[in-house]
Structure 1
Amino acid sequence: MELITVNQSTCVKCGLCSNVCPSGVLSMNENGPIAIHPDNCITCGHCVAVCPSSSIDNIKTPLSNQLDLESFPIIDSSTAESFLRSRRSIRCYKEAQVPQQTLLKLVNIARFAPTASNTQGLSYIIIKNKKILQQAANIVVEWMEYQLKNSPSPHWSFSRHVKNYREAGEDSILRNAPHIILATSTKDFKNGIKNTISAFSYLELFATTLGLGSCWAGLFEMCAFSDYKPLLELLQIPDNKVITGAVMVGYPKYKYRKIVDRNPLEVEFID
């Protein structure tokens, strides 16, 4: 089957589809676009989305699956800035569970994030079981204790987290979050972590619209990235897969009344 089909009666031969193709798949002739390098297609859908007359179809990104974009941009810059700056890393959560459909809605948005050459390649695990979360936190503490004893340069914060956990029962690993969302990829997928950063950025920003808070589980990730067997076995990660990221999710316990500030902008132009 051909990669693209073109409605000759509506195609205006403007060449936009060929111009926006990032991998040189399309070229133009007297009849309109043709696929000269179909194997190069990265399934981005640009050719279908840019066509002013909806004349081109692509079997990898079918026109029937494309939703119309009535106007762009969707929101003005002032609203967008307020939205982006209102998001904070949440480390204090209510005990309430997030409904499964809400969690699915949250994770679903992550798959629309841009990825390297549109490789995507991620799957997700949503942990809802409180006992498993507690076991995971304990395993990460045990891993940190091992690092403190055996690593020549353990992370500076490990001793503090271990002490808080062992002496005060404070979970600064997973922050008593009701849910953890893991991203995974196959071991041979080189863009796993990079794509996860992009996907989880979408997820974390979208979370605020659902009334949810989130925070990267950095200590958990450090343990997972070291392929610590007890953690991988607890989470039943298949041998051919790796964890590429982890985010805590739940309803924020507290309400913040100021937007985020950061260090002053540092930038230079090269003319």
Structure 2
Amino acid sequence: MDLIKVNQEKCIKCGICAEVCPTGTIGLDENGPKAIEPFCIACGHCVAICPTAALDNAKAPLVNQISLKKVPVLDEDMAAIFLRSRRSVRKFKRKVVARESIQQLLNIARFAPTSSNSQGVSYLVIDDSQTLSSITAVIVDYWEEEALKQPPWSETPYAAHLKAHIANYRKTGRDVILRDAPCLIIPIVDKNLTVGKDNTYYSLAYAELYAPSIGLGTCITGFFDGCAASGYKPLLEILKLPENMQVTGGLMAGYPKYTYQRLVDRNPLQVIWR
């Protein structure tokens, strides 16, 4: 494969593409940049950084990249407000989320950074109310019958809190697991992808930050995650995953029932300099 192509009329031989290449795939000689190593991770840095659009990469084609010259950049105050305004939403409107909106959300999540551009995160999306209720029921069973009866969960300060949640569910039927969210997004990765969980967290962070721009609220599914990670068979029977895939997280999604009015505070910043 002819990995690197260079438009000699445009190339100014600045060498920036070689400098930013994370794997040392690109070198530079009197004719400009060229591939000197076969290990390209298709990150697209070389194409994206070229000041004259002279370089193309077969694994990250120039035609698929978008120019940043006309894209506005948030100033520091707006960026800070944008990041701080993310909230975990646990109260949702009883309104179905269009699948097109979830598709739009996850289409942004796929651009999150991944280890060595390994990517590899797929998504199982469940928006059937009966299936969601079944998932809540088996997760309650897991925490009540297994997890909270043995270390480490039985010895944590959260044990009493979790037991109270379960008691509330048993008494009222209130969904304390998925919070009556109309949609559950479940990232899945190949069992052999050792960085799959890390990649998942990055993608979910992107999804959470983007969600409010299309009117959605989200929340990480802690109870679900713990149950899935344990390999609890009743849950896996509902999910019906391909044999080679495993769950690496979960995200509730829906339209927020309420709107937050203020930015909350956090613990003071702690930094150690050396």
Question: TM-score under structure 2 normalisation?
Answer: 0.95
Spell out, residue by residue over 1:214-236, the C-alpha distance to the aligned partner (whole angstroms, 9 max, x if none). Answer: 00000000000111111111011
Give the structure 2 partner of residue 94 of structure 1: 93
Give the structure 1 partner of residue 163 of structure 2: 159
Give the structure 2 partner of residue 27 of structure 1: 27
2:148 and 2:4 map into 1 onto residues whose CA distance is 60
Give the structure 2 partner of residue 115 of structure 1: 114
Q: 1:148 to 1:247 in 2, by over 3 A?
A: closer
> Is the CA contact (8 Å cut-off) linking 1:216 and 1:248 kept in structure 2?
yes
SS across alignment from 2:153: coil
Q: 1:19 to 1:152 in 2, by over 3 A?
A: closer
SS across alignment from 1:245: coil
Aligned: 1:172 with 2:176: yes
Alignment of 1:142-157 (within 5 A): 142-147=141-146, 150-155=149-154, 156=159, 157=161
- The two structures, once aligned, show a CA RMSD in angstroms of 1.3
Give the structure 2 partner of residue 14 of structure 1: 14
> Is the CA contact (8 Å cut-off) linking 1:88 and 1:260 kept in structure 2?
no
Give the structure 2 partner of residue 84 of structure 1: 83
2:145 and 2:40 map into 1 onto residues whose CA distance is 47
Question: TM-score under structure 1 normalisation?
Answer: 0.96
Structure 2: gaps spanning 5 or more residues: none
Spell out, residue by residue over 1:201-253, the C-alpha distance to the aligned partner (whole angstroms, 9 max, x if none). Answer: 00000001111110000000000011111111101111211001100000111
> Is the CA contact (8 Å cut-off) linking 1:87 and 1:260 kept in structure 2?
no
Q: Per-residue deviation at 1:72?
A: 6.9
1:149 and 1:213 map into 2 onto residues whose CA distance is 29
2:255 and 2:71 map into 1 onto residues whose CA distance is 31
1:73 and 1:266 map into 2 onto residues whose CA distance is 32
SS across alignment from 1:180: strand
Identical counterparts, % of pairs: 47
Structure 1: gaps spanning 5 or more residues: none
Give the structure 2 partner of residue 127 of structure 1: 126
AA of the residue aligned to 1:173: I
Give the structure 2 partner of residue 37 of structure 1: 37
AA of the residue aligned to 2:211: A
SS across alignment from 2:166: helix
SS across alignment from 2:242: coil
2:96 and 2:206 map into 1 onto residues whose CA distance is 21
Q: Give the 4+ runs in structure 1 shifted more than 3 A.
A: none
Give the structure 2 partner of residue 192 of structure 1: 196
Of 229, 246, 253, the residue aligned with 1:249 is 253
How many residue pairs align between the two structures? 269
Q: Per-residue deviation at 1:256?
A: 1.0
Q: 1:215 to 1:11 in 2, by over 3 A?
A: same
1:265 and 1:150 map into 2 onto residues whose CA distance is 37
AA of the residue aligned to 1:107: L
Aligned: 1:206 with 2:205: no
Aligned: 1:261 with 2:265: yes
